[in-house]
Structures are given as C-alpha cells and as structure tokens.
Amino acid sequence: MPRSKDPNLLVGTETHDDAGVFKLTDEIALVQTVDFFPPVVDDPYLYGQIAAANALSDVYAMGGIPKTALNLVAYPDDEDPQLTWLGKILEGGAERCMAAGAVIAGGHTIRDKEIKFGLSVTGIVHPDKVLTNAGAKPGDRLVLTKPLGTGFVTTAHKANACPEALFKAACLSMVQLNKVGADALQHLHPHGMTDITGYGFAGHALEMALGSNTTLVFELQKLPRFAGIETLIAKRFFTRASKTNREYILPHLRVEGNPDKVSMELALDAQTSGGLLVSLPKEEVALFIKAALANGAICAVEVGEVHDKGPHHLVFKP
C-alpha cells in the first residue's frame, strides 16, 4: 500500500502492528482497527462475544482504551429471511463492547453466503504512551496472558469432536477482554506489546522480534495451554493457518534441543481472541503477573526473554 507522509500517523501501514494510531493533539491519539470473521462456534450470542473481544483486543494491544465501535455484518438473508441468528450475534457483540466501556455507534451490513461478523473499533491513547510490537528491549521478560490452543479447539468443535470441558474453557478465554491484562500495566513500564491471533504465538512473537530488531528466546514447556489440548493435537485438528504460520517463521527460527511436538504445534496454532504478549523489565514481571491475575486474567505466565539480535529472530528451547 502507498505509505502516508502525514507526520500525525504515528503507526500505519508500513509497520506490522495491531492497529493504526493517528495523533489528534499533544494529548490524544486515535487507535483504529477492524476485524471480522465467520463463526467459530455454533451459538450466535457466544460468536458475537468472541468476535467483538477479538476486535477490541487490538486497541488494548496498542495501550489504548476502546471508545466507539461499528458493527460489520455479512449475512445470508435470502437463505434466512427471518434473520434467525443475527439479533443474538449483535447482542453478543454489544455485551462485550459494553463491558469494554465502548459505544456501538452504527455499522454496515451486506449479503453474503456465509455469516461474518466483527467490529471496526476506535480508541484513544496518549501519543507518548503508544505501545507497539517494536518496543521490546534486550533484558526484557515476556509474559503471556491467555492459554494457547483455541485453533485446535474450534476445529475439533466443528467436527463434533471436542470434549465439552475443553470447549467451555476455550470459550471463556476467547470471550475475556484483554482489558484485564492492559489495565494491569497502568503503573508499570512495558516496552512493547502485541496480541496473539491468526499468526499464532510464534508468528506474532516474530513480528515483535522483527519490529524491535531483537531475538526472542522462549522455553516452550512454559507456554500456557488448555487442559486436554494434547488429545486434539494428536488427532491433528489443525487449522489451515498452522501450515502457513510454520512457513512464515521457519527462516527466522532456531530450535535448540528436542522440544515436544505438542509445544511446537501450540506455538504455531492460529488463535482467536488470544492473550497479550508483553515485553517489560525483569523487575516488573512479578508485579504485572500479580495484577493481571487479580484483575481476573485466566493466566499470566513468563514464557521467555528478549536478547540482542542474533543469527535468528526466534529461538525455541524445550
């Protein structure tokens, strides 16, 4: 895309960040993002919640506060003239926006053969407090705030092959707003942040490493995961993105030792409404974890550290 030369565009198309940031005044910048996708669960209300939480997450990942949202809907009204599911989808999205303190200001609908829903979200942030995925510094520690494995869960669920307890745990995670992690950083000094979605843990970690010109080193056994996810991995309930994520990171990855297959696949699994990956000073890790858990975060786990740039941007250890 053509690159904007507007000096007020603080974060734009030339980066691989989670949202765009445009400076309005010395005190206020807009954080803008958009995300939508087909249903990942059968329940329309739950689908609306997940899609909204996923879209809102990009604003939190930039250090912003969501303020307004626009619904984006594609719906097969010729096949479902009674709009059987649409109301519940929108209700679910509205509930998550309300929980975030954001106002739905309108939206847009089109006809489509497959249902799609999401949000265009606008938030605000102080121009000096924007967090990007390019801020990680050598010596930082890396903390993840949600378990991995939602791609395996939703794929297995579509095949009616996901245990109910595992499915419920993943839904609880996908619905949770990343506000709980972002708020825990208010009195700390994070250097960089991103949220984990379609590129998977490894892909978004690579974006952080590339943006900050560092090497991120992870101990794969520390990656948080949903209880029972190993069974779904063994049965190969992979998303299509697992393959493309693997191809994307391999040129930048060094694997040391013999990490177990489950951990490797978890790192590549495309996530829906995943957690925040936060790069912050070592001395603040315990404070952040304590605050995030106190806010209700499903987990907050130190998973790696930031090194000076080496031969590879990513290093995986057992």
Q: Considering only CA atoms, which of 277, 264, 271, 207 is closest in space to residue 239?
A: 271
Q: Which residue has the tokens 């053509």?
A: 2
Query: Which amino acid appears at position 201 of this protein?
Result: F
Q: 9-129 has which fold?
A: 60s Ribosomal Protein L30; Chain: A; (3.30.1330)
66-71 average pLDDT score: 98
Q: Cβ(104)–Cβ(97) under 8 Å?
A: yes
pLDDT digit string, tens, across residues 184-202? 999 999 999 999 999 999 9
Mean pLDDT of 284-299: 98
Average pLDDT, rounded, for the chain: 96
When pLDDT is averaged across residues 216-236 and rounded to a whole number, the result is 95
Domain boundaries along the sequence of the chain: 9-129, 141-317
43 and 115 Cβ atoms separated by less than 8 Å: no
Paired tokens of 70: 């626009």
- Check whether 219 has a pLDDT greater than 90: yes
CATH architecture of the domain with range 141-317: Alpha-Beta Complex (3.90)
Q: What pLDDT is attached to residue 17? A: 85
DSSP 55: H
What number of H helices and E strands is found in the chain?
10, 13
Assess whether the region 9-129 and the region 141-317 belong to the same CATH fold: no
Whether residue 74 has pLDDT greater than 90: yes
In 3D, which of 152, 169, 158 has the Cα closest to residue 239?
A: 152
Checking if the pLDDT of 13 tops 80, the result is: no
Average of pLDDT values for 142-146? Answer: 98
Q: Tell me the two tokens of residue 164.
A: 């109910």
pLDDT score, position 240: 84
Return the axis-axis angle of helices 241-249 and 261-268, rounded to nearest 10°.
100
Q: How many CB atoms within 10 Å of residue 283?
A: 10
- Whole-prediction pTM: 0.95
Model confidence at 31: pLDDT above 80? yes
What percentage of the chain reaches a pLDDT higher than 90?
93
Q: Is pLDDT of 129 > 80?
A: yes
Query: Which pLDDT does position 18 carry in this prediction?
Result: 87
8 A C-beta contact, residue 238 and residue 161: no
